[in-house]
């Protein structure tokens, strides 16, 4: 028999999104006793139970919605109908035992997942800034000595080629990507690979000068055509705070990430907006 809370802690450390489902109320008969718990992962693995049968199957399916929404909520169920349907605010389930049950779906996971390509001064500082903000960070660098020198600020540290990581491990859609490798060639290669594979990040930032981003965008559209959507591409990266030390740059980037996360994209201080000729690329 697994220790429920130890299992939750173990799963959290892997960086997976989870949902803890708890029976909070019960009226009448049925196997779903108050206090029963089940944890469901983003891979739809389940541990524990909220009573079995239709209610548990439905709860596991409902967890997919919870993970997509990244929000917690409560739902009530009637356990005596022949089909699953919502009626008067309650979901009716095909369970002959009868009664009413309330389940609380608790989303457990970071705000978002941030992939940092480049573990140099700015990348390392960014991981340190993001950790207490509840972002799950993976930092990738092909230089073993640089990866080995990192502290434990990043949740995951990977010694692998930048493009190799994308090709072998992959990048899910709707994640946050920060590119700050030690060379512009590597930066461009990462960006090109993301475009080539049609990955759709929620935020896609590159650390570089105004001139470099202008050059890159011209080359990108020449290579991939005019149909690529760089709406979520931010470069020069960060908000215009004025600081240029690695720590100040990290705060600038983290602030921009937070502005995107909280839907504050109308801010007038994004550094990418300081390059007027590039607006035709960023906003279609």
Model confidence, pTM: 0.81
**Of 77, 108, 139, which closes a domain?**
108
* 100-108 vs 73-78, strand pairing mode: antiparallel
Range of the domain at 59: 15-108
**Of 108, 141, 172, which closes a domain?**
108
Q: Could you tell me if residue 10 is inside a domain?
A: no
Whether residue 206 is found in the same domain as residue 137: yes
Token pair in block for residue 200: 């759709």
DSSP characters for 40-61? EETT--EEE-SSSHHHHHHHHH
Span 112-152, pLDDT tens digits: 999 999 999 999 999 999 999 999 999 999 999 999 999 99
Contact 34, 113 (CB under 8 A): no
Contact 54, 6 (CB under 8 A): no
**Of 108, 136, 170, which closes a domain?**
108
Token pair in block for residue 72: 């917690």
Whether residue 146 is found in the same domain as residue 244: yes
Question: Terminus-to-terminus CA distance in the chain, angstroms?
Answer: 54
User: Cβ atoms within 10 A of the Cβ of 251, count?
Assistant: 18
Span 232-277, pLDDT tens digits: 999 999 998 888 899 999 999 999 999 999 988 666 677 777 766 6
Regarding predicted confidence, which is higher, 101 or 199? 199
Beta partners for residue 77, in sequence order: 91, 101
Q: Could you tell me if residue 8 is inside a domain?
A: no
* 37-41 vs 46-48, strand pairing mode: antiparallel
Mean pLDDT is highest, among 52-61, 103-112, 216-225, 273-282, for: 103-112
Count of structural domains within the chain: 2
Span 5-30, pLDDT tens digits: 888 888 888 888 999 999 998 887 66
Whether residue 155 is found in the same domain as residue 117: yes
Q: How far is CA 210 from CA 85, 89, 194, 207, 231, in A?
A: 55, 54, 21, 10, 17
Span 62-110, pLDDT tens digits: 999 999 888 999 988 877 655 444 445 656 555 555 577 889 999 999 9
What was the pLDDT predicted at 84?
44
Output the domain CATH number for residue 212: 3.40.50.720
Whether residue 254 is found in the same domain as residue 121: yes
Whether residue 101 is found in the same domain as residue 129: no
Q: Could you tell me if residue 139 is inside a domain?
A: yes
H-assigned helices in 79-169? 121-130, 144-148, 162-168
Euclidean distance between CA atoms 34 and 51, whole angstroms: 10
Phi, psi (deg, nearest 5) at residue 229: -110, 110
Euclidean distance between CA atoms 232 and 213, whole angstroms: 14
* 100-108 vs 156-159, strand pairing mode: unpaired
What was the pLDDT predicted at 1?
47
Euclidean distance between CA atoms 191 and 53, whole angstroms: 47
């Amino acid at each position: 028999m697994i220790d429920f809370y130890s299992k939750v802690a173990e799963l959290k450390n892997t960086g997976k999104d989870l949902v803890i489902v708890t029976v909070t109320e019960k009226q009448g008969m049925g196997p779903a006793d108050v206090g029963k718990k089940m944890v469901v992962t983003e891979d739809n693995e389940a541990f524990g139970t909220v009573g079995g049968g239709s209610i548990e199957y439905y709860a596991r399916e409902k967890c997919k919605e919870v993970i997509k929404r990244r929000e917690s909520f409560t739902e009530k169920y009637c356990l005596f109908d022949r089909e699953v349907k919502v009626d008067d605010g309650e979901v009716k389930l095909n369970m002959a035992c009868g009664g009413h049950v309330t389940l609380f779906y608790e989303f457990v996971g970071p705000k978002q997942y941030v992939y940092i390509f480049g573990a140099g001064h700015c990348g390392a500082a960014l991981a340190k800034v993001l950790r207490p903000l509840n972002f799950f960070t993976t930092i990738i660098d092909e230089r073993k000595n640089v990866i080995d020198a990192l502290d434990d600020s990043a949740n995951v540290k990977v010694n692998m080629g930048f493009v190799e990581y994308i090709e072998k491990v992959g990048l899910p859609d709707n994640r946050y990507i920060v590119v700050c490798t030690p060379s512009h060639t590597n930066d461009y290669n990462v960006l090109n690979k993301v475009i080539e594979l049609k990955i759709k990040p929620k935020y896609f930032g590159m650390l570089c000068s105004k001139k470099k981003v202008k050059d890159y965008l011209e080359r990108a559209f020449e290579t991939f055509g005019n149909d690529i959507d760089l709406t979520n591409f931010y470069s020069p990266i960060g908000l215009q705070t004025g600081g240029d030390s690695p720590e100040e740059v990290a705060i600038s980037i983290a602030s921009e990430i937070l502005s995107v996360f909280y839907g504050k994209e109308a801010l007038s201080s994004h550094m990418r907006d300081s390059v007027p000729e590039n607006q035709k690329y960023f906003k279609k």
